[in-house]
């Protein structure tokens, strides 16, 4: 039953949600997963300095967090060499995407993304009444030229592009991204989601240039910094756009301990390097496990690997179910043809030992019920 007092827009929204959490699956299964490698979490964890900072902040949690996230924002500004007023800190990239869409997209406004790209962006666009147009992936890559072309054709307010991409892990080099930025139509904005960029090769992220009004960059402490549960993301963009977030954001919405943890994490460059090494090693291991099972790992610049199961979405979904039966939590792309793959997050050695042991039989059973 829908509450009749909802706005017409709210009534029109689906009650479904983009992602079901692994905890909900565990409750439905009646037992926990042994390998949690489905949500692109960073199993190598946050910097010990970040953990210590959060532990220290626990007793002080009676204080509201600084609504300006001053110390973190200024540290990020120094880290990236951009002015502090070109950065806004928010409740993860998800939260920032919500604010951004709210600021820019009026009901009926066109927005462009890729078919099968990060669904939470589409969730927000629908939530504010935007008109979401999609272009297909090109050989498992988001297609910047096609995105911009569609954006120009539709007069889109926003164009979403993740680099590296989620769920496929593929990426473009900085030159390709710069060409896309240069082609953004007048009045438009490229939403460049760089949640995974710390894992990517040098030359993936274009230089940060917040004087460019055509692009806003989204970064997070959820992935390489290992703090998904803390909810700390940030956006870097032109000062006038960044200032607009003050008009709509939940000013006291940032957890105090999370701010302290993010600040400490940012200052621990060796830990970040260590995590990136571990992730690269795990990506290689996932690719070898795939190859040993006769499957193809799609090259990835993120902390997960999409593994082509060699069939259609139904086959991949059965593989997922079979892995879950062996207590391994993984996810898969939502849209064809990318949904022929399963998406495996970089796990610990133990996680991937379990995957290596389980995958051949899971695939066999999945094929048997074809």
Interacting residue with a second copy among 80, 102, 131, 367 (CB under 8 A): 102
d(CA 311, CA 10): 38
Site for a second copy in 4-23 (CB under 8 A): 4-10, 13-15, 17-21, 23
Report the residue from 29, 45, 83, 310 that binds a second copy according to the rule CB under 8 A: 45
Q: Per rule CB under 8 A, is residue 175 in the interface with a second copy?
A: no
d(C-alpha 319, C-alpha 332), whole Å: 10
Residue 32 lies near a second copy (rule: CB under 8 A) = no
Q: Of the listed pieces 37-45, 169-177, 266-274, 315-323, which binds a second copy according to CB under 8 A?
A: 37-45
* Buried b / exposed e along 126-150 (16+ C-beta atoms within 10 A): bebbbbbbbbebeebbbbbeebbeb
Distance CA(30)–CA(9), nearest Å, equals 37
189 to 228: interface string for a second copy, x by CB under 8 A: x-----------------------x--------x---xxx
Mark the segment that binds a second copy (CB under 8 A) among 138-146, 186-194, 288-296, 336-344. Answer: 186-194
Interface positions, 319-358, toward a second copy (CB under 8 A): none
CA distance 173 to 164: 9
CB nearer a second copy, residue 133 or residue 319: 133
CB of 277 to a second copy, least distance (A): 16
Per CB under 8 A, the list member of 24, 138, 153, 273 interacting with a second copy is: 24
Taking CA atoms, 115 is separated from 134, 146, 336, 337, in Å, by: 5, 12, 9, 10
Partners of 342 in the beta sheet?
307
In the range 221-260, which residues lie near a second copy by CB under 8 A?
222, 226-231, 238-241, 243-244, 246-248, 250-258
Q: Which stretch binds a second copy (CB under 8 A): 99-107, 195-203, 289-297, 307-315?
A: 99-107
Angstrom distances, CA of residue 168 to CA of 129, 189, 278, 323: 27, 23, 19, 19
Question: Quick check: 104 and 6 in contact, CB under 8 A?
Answer: no
| 3-state SS, residue 137 | coil
By CB under 8 A, tell whether 138 contacts a second copy. Answer: no
């Amino acid at each position: 039953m829908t509450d009749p007092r909802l706005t017409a827009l709210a009534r029109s929204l689906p009650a479904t949600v983009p992602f079901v959490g692994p905890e909900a699956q565990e409750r439905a299964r009646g037992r926990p997963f042994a390998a949690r490698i489905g949500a692109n979490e960073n199993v190598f964890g946050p910097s010990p300095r970040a953990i210590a900072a959060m532990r220290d902040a626990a007793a002080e949690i009676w204080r509201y967090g600084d609504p300006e996230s001053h110390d973190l924002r200024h540290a990020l500004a120094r880290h990236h060499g951009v002015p502090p007023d070109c950065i806004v800190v928010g409740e993860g990239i998800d939260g920032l995407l919500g604010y951004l869409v709210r600021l820019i997209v009026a009901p009926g406004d066109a927005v462009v993304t890729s078919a099968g790209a990060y669904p939470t962006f589409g969730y927000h666009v629908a939530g504010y009444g935007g008109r979401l147009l999609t272009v297909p992936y090109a050989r498992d890559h988001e297609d910047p030229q096609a995105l911009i072309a569609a954006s120009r054709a539709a007069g889109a307010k926003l164009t979403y592009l993740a680099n590296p991409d989620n769920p496929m892990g593929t990426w473009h080099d900085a030159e390709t991204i710069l060409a896309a930025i240069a082609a953004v139509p007048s009045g438009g904005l490229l939403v460049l989601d760089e949640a995974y960029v710390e894992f990517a090769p040098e030359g993936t992220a274009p230089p940060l240039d917040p004087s460019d009004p055509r692009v806003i960059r989204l970064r997070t402490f959820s992935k390489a910094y290992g703090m998904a549960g803390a909810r700390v993301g940030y956006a870097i963009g032109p000062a006038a756009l960044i200032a607009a977030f003050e008009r709509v954001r939940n000013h006291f919405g940032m957890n105090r301990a999370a701010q302290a943890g993010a600040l400490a994490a940012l200052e621990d460059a060796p830990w970040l390097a260590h995590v990136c090494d571990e992730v690269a090693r795990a990506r290689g291991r996932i690719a070898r496990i795939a190859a040993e099972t006769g499957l193809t790992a799609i090259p990835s610049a993120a902390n997960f690997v999409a593994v082509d199961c060699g069939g259609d979405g139904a086959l991949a979904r059965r593989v997922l179910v079979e892995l879950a039966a062996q207590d391994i939590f993984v996810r898969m792309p939502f849209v064809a043809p990318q949904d022929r793959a399963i998406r495996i997050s970089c796990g610990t050695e133990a996680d991937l030992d379990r995957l290596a042991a389980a995958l051949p039989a899971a695939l066999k059973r999945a094929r048997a019920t074809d």
